[in-house]
Amino acid sequence: MSVTFYWYPKCSTCRKAKKWLDDHGVTYQAVHIIEENPTKEELKEIIEKSDLPIQKFFNTSGQKYRELGLKDKLKEASTEEKLDYLASDGMLLKRPLTVSETKVTVGFKEEVFDQTWK
């Protein structure tokens, strides 16, 4: 199984998720989410694969999210506009974002990783 792990090394939650993957022998390609933010097309594919609402992919507690006033803007935004926001800055994406051909997890909860990536 090919797994891509989008993460931000300074994020403690990302480091916990990476440690979990390492401890469980999951082979993955680590991608620095700020240096290599997924494209709009990649995000669209990931979101569709996840069956999660696009809202779940926003880092709502992040500084960038607040700076841009997205809490209010996203209420009226189209899916295309939301994808544009997510593709514009890796800091807007909830992380870590872990993706395979068939599975997607957003954030890190040990029980979700146990169910999804073991």
pLDDT in tens, 9-41: 999 999 999 999 999 999 999 999 999 999 999
Distance CA 8, CA 35 (A): 9
- DSSP, collapsed to helix, strand or coil, labels residue 77 as coil
pTM: 0.94
Distance CA 79, CA 81 (A): 5
β-strands 97-99, 28-32: how paired? Answer: unpaired
CA nearest neighbour of 33 among 47, 43, 22, 45: 43
State how far the alpha carbon of 3 is from the alpha carbons of 21, 29, 56, 60, in Å.
10, 6, 20, 25
Give residue limits of the domains in the chain: 3-117
Q: Is the peptide bond before 38 cis (omega within 30 degrees of 0)?
A: no
- Other CB atoms within 10 A of residue 42 CB: 14
The architecture that CATH gives domain 3-117 is 3-Layer(aba) Sandwich (3.40)
Percent of the chain with pLDDT over 70: 100
Between CA 12 and CA 48 the distance in angstroms is 27
Residue 1 has pLDDT above 80, yes or no: no
